[in-house]
Amino acid sequence: MDVRLTAWVEGRVQGVGFRWWVRANALELGLTGYAENLDDGRVKVVAEGPEDSCRQLLRRLEASGASESGGWLRRPGKVSAVTHRWAEAAGILPGFAER
**Catalytic residue status for 37:** yes
In the residue annotation, 4 being an active-site residue is answered as no
The one catalytic residue among 4, 19, 42, 75: 19
Amino acid residing at 10: E
6-29-38 Cα angle (round to 5): 30
Query: Rg of the chain's alpha carbons, rounded to an integer?
Result: 12
Contact 93, 33 (CB under 8 A): yes
The residue annotated as part of the active site, out of 4, 23, 37, 75, is 37
User: Measured between alpha carbons, how far is 86 from 3 in angstroms, rounded to an integer?
Assistant: 7
**Residues catalogued as catalytic:** 19, 37
